[in-house]
Structure 1
């Protein structure tokens, strides 16, 4: 037997579903420009039907009882999310390397009139002038001044490269600190989601945003289990998320070590940059040492301590105590391969920097394409939401009309029929 008030219950459920849909649409519209927000949708299902006897069939028929709001969920594509995180980490790695290339190119400053190559050319030119007039005091003085200028440029480059290495270390420490904070944030959100339920859409968005920021810094593995995230670095779980256990992070020193040994992301780029800067610094130092050795001749008296360029306690210095310098034998032959080595070093750095720039452009385009595909799924379209708003408004109005009509029917049955 169908209840007399069945129509009112149908209308009430329709009003509830329409109200939930309108409210969710409004939530989407309000967050259309919120970074990291995922479009939400109301998932309706047919309510449990009622059995009722019908003629012509020994089995009871089923009378619909309206609609039920099953859930309100985010619209996400986990495959695109994983692809975005991987590409974001690769881009972060190359951006860190490119920043180091830019710094090293600024330090080397070639080609220029103030770089090491120009200082070597000027010293070599001073020797040629001295060869043309060996007795000239001014030519003697110019050689010493050019030698001092060469050493000053070399020392300045070495100090600047040391500063680049220090900056890389500071960036690494900051990135490790940021990544650790993101891990703590993800862990805290895991716990909040477990308490609230797996339909805590706004908390889920915050957690995904933190995971994306973390993926830019290091290569991570994300495994979802009943709404909880387990984050692993190099195969080691640093955030454990399961529905039946308390989440926990590993000890911070272990996390820091795992982050520094990451196989991707900004931290990998910084680790590669450190090796690159150290190798560049060593290579330049070797070239400077070889060039100084080729110029470090003895004076006419043959005194062993009176070298033009001396190594004093690990520091190269011009010996200004002597009055007469003689041009080294085979100077041109000795200097030519050293200068070519330096030019090759500069060219190699430029080629690597250009390659990094091209890689960044390619990865940025790929990441943008992936993000566009992802936004087409999870992003909020105001045009679509406005169309939905009109649709849900009509559904709500229709449900309200059903309630009004049913009320009139009941009024007729209860009040008017009784009056007769």
Structure 2
């Protein structure tokens, strides 16, 4: 037989469930604009029933005892989370590569009326004036000035490319340090989650934000254990976080494919390649202009570098017999370099647009699952408010019944 106070206990449970639902809804509303926050929901279940004897053929029957809060969990889609991390790595890589190629384009500065192509054309024109009047002092002076301008432009471009390399190396070190900082924080959060339980929702959100930031630097594989702990490894299987310990560190060499670190590594290779191609063009053009000869226009140390290139101070310059053909070959090589740079830059712009579009589409899908809708939460708030009011009314009604039994029937 049910207790006389069964109704009060049942109502009390209803109040508790409704109050928990209202509080959780309020928590969702308060964190609608919190980065990385996942919508939380109250999972309620029926309270274990009470066995009672009835007049029917099936005994004992069961009398319900209301509802209980089973858990408060985050609403997440692990598949979308993994997809987001993969696409974040791709977007992180291509954004760096596109930015670097853009900086290389600024350094190369073509097409331009003041770039290397223009200075080569002007130098060729000055040679024509010297050929028309070999003994003209003014033509020799103009030729020397054009040669000085060519050297200055070439050295400025080479310096700019060197500055890009130095900046990328600084970014590389900072990105590696940032990644290892995230690993340390993830291990610490694993420890906190282990102590507080795998339904420590706010801690889980903080950890997921760190994992996503890490994935923009280097592709990672995330394995969730039964106790809610994340094990983190790199894309090639290198263990980074196991349980509550950071067991590995990220180094620059880990950036092989995907992520900002990989983008920096590829960018360093690209700058080196263009700097090498530029050096070859300048050396070829300087050689065509008689570099190293007594009456040649240019001089340089050995091995050749753009920074060592200088104008020969010989008073009278004489054009090499094959100057025009060799100079045109160098100019053709430079046009090929510029065309290649333009094609790669456009390709990187397209890759960035595609990767960011895919990332945004995945994030929109994910937000539709885990994000906060104020309208939906307000509707839930009204629903739970009615549930609370109904449970309170049930308690009040039960109290009146008990008052009748205890106080009035005793008279």
TM-score by length of 2: 0.96
Report the 3-state secondary structure (helix = DSSP H, G, I; strand = E; otherwise coil) of the residue aligned with 1:312. coil
Corresponding position of 1:362: 354
1:297/1:155 CA distance change after superposition, 3 Å: closer
| Cα drift, residue 237 of structure 1 | 1.2
Root mean square deviation of aligned Cα: 1.3
CA contact (8 A) 2:147 2:311 kept: yes
Corresponding position of 2:251: 256
1:257/1:274 CA distance change after superposition, 3 Å: closer
Q: What runs of 5+ residues in structure 2 fail to find an aligned partner?
A: none
| Cα drift, residue 159 of structure 1 | 1.1
1:408/1:297 CA distance change after superposition, 3 Å: closer
Matched, 1:270 2:272: no
Report the 3-state secondary structure (helix = DSSP H, G, I; strand = E; otherwise coil) of the residue aligned with 1:99. helix
Report the 3-state secondary structure (helix = DSSP H, G, I; strand = E; otherwise coil) of the residue aligned with 1:56. coil
Report the 3-state secondary structure (helix = DSSP H, G, I; strand = E; otherwise coil) of the residue aligned with 2:333. helix
Q: What runs of 5+ residues in structure 1 fail to find an aligned partner?
A: 242-246, 299-303
| Cα drift, residue 317 of structure 1 | 1.6
1:297/1:187 CA distance change after superposition, 3 Å: closer
Distance across 2 between alignment mates of 1:170 and 1:294: 38
Report the 3-state secondary structure (helix = DSSP H, G, I; strand = E; otherwise coil) of the residue aligned with 2:233. strand
Matched, 1:372 2:369: no
Q: Give every structure 1 segment of 4 or more consecutive aligned residues whose post-TM-superposition deviation is greater than 6 Å.
A: none
Distance across 1 between alignment mates of 2:315 and 2:392: 108
Report the 3-state secondary structure (helix = DSSP H, G, I; strand = E; otherwise coil) of the residue aligned with 1:210. helix
Corresponding position of 2:140: 140
Matched, 1:323 2:308: no
How many equivalent residue pairs? 405
Corresponding position of 2:71: 71
Report the 3-state secondary structure (helix = DSSP H, G, I; strand = E; otherwise coil) of the residue aligned with 1:418. coil
| Cα drift, residue 152 of structure 1 | 1.3
Corresponding position of 2:373: 381
CA contact (8 A) 2:295 2:317 kept: no
| Cα drift, residue 51 of structure 1 | 0.6
CA contact (8 A) 1:219 1:262 kept: no
Q: How does 1:13-412 map to 2 (within 5 A)?
A: 13-226=13-226, 227-233=228-234, 234-241=236-243, 247-250=244-247, 252=249, 255-256=250-251, 259=254, 261-296=255-290, 305-312=294-301, 314=304, 315-320=308-313, 322-412=314-404
Distance across 1 between alignment mates of 2:156 and 2:368: 52
Distance across 2 between alignment mates of 1:30 and 1:79: 27
| Cα drift, residue 328 of structure 1 | 1.8
